[in-house]
C-alpha cells in the first residue's frame, strides 16, 4: 500500500463530503424563494434569514472541509446543520406513496452523511 494512500483517501472523502454541501448551498440560492416559503409554512421563524444562514454555513463549512482547514469545526457545523435540516425537509412521516419513499431516501442519505462527518471529526481530533 502506498504511503500516501491514506492522505489521498482522506482528501477524496473531504472533497466529496464538502463538495456535496457547496453544491447544495449554491443550488439552494436558485431555489431561495421556494425554500423560504416552505420553511415559513413549517413554522420556522424568520425563514428567509434562517435559509440564508444555512446557505452560508453549507458553502463556507463545505469549503473548509474540502481544504482541510478547521475540519473538525466545519464537520461539526455541517453535522448540526443536518440535525436541524433533515427533519424539516425529509419529513417522510407526513407523506405517503412515492413522495414518502423519496423523503425516506433523503433522510437515510443525510444519516449516512452524518456518519461521514462523525468520521472526519474523529480523524481530526
- Mean pLDDT of the region 92-113: 91
Question: What pLDDT score does 2 carry?
Answer: 59
As a whole number, mean pLDDT of residues 114-120 equals 96
What residues contact 90, with CB distance under 8 A and at least 6 apart?
103, 104, 106, 107, 110
Look at residue 45 and tell me whether its pLDDT is greater than 90.
yes
Q: What is the DSSP string of the chain?
A: --TTHHHHHHHHHHHHHHHHHHHHHHHHHHTHHHHHHHHHHTT-TTHHHHHHHHHHHHHHHHHHHHHTSSHHHHHHHHHHHHHHHHHHH--GGG--HHHHHHHHHHHHHHHHHHHHHHHHHHHH-
Share of the chain above pLDDT 90, in %: 82
Tell me: pLDDT of 1 over 70. Answer: no
CA-to-CA separations, 95 to 3, 31, 45, 52, 92, in angstroms, rounded: 49, 22, 23, 27, 5
pTM for this predicted structure:
0.90
- Give the residue numbers spanning the domain of 26: 5-124
Question: In which residue are the cell numbers 433523503 written?
Answer: 106
Residues 6+ apart with CB under 8 A from 89: 38, 106
Q: Give the total number of structural domains in the chain.
A: 1
Amino acid at each position: 500500500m502506498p504511503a500516501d494512500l491514506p492522505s489521498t483517501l482522506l482528501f477524496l472523502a473531504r472533497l466529496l463530503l464538502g463538495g456535496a454541501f457547496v453544491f447544495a448551498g449554491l443550488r439552494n440560492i436558485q431555489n431561495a424563494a421556494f425554500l423560504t416559503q416552505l420553511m415559513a409554512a413549517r413554522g420556522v421563524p424568520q425563514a428567509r434569514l434562517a435559509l440564508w444562514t444555512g446557505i452560508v454555513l453549507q458553502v463556507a463549512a463545505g469549503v473548509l472541509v474540502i481544504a482541510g482547514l478547521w475540519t473538525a469545526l466545519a464537520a461539526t457545523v455541517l453535522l448540526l446543520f443536518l440535525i436541524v435540516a433533515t427533519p424539516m425537509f425529509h419529513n417522510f412521516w407526513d407523506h405517503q406513496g412515492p413522495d414518502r419513499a423519496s423523503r425516506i431516501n433523503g433522510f437515510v442519505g443525510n444519516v449516512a452523511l452524518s456518519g461521514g462527518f462523525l468520521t472526519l471529526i474523529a480523524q481530526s481530533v
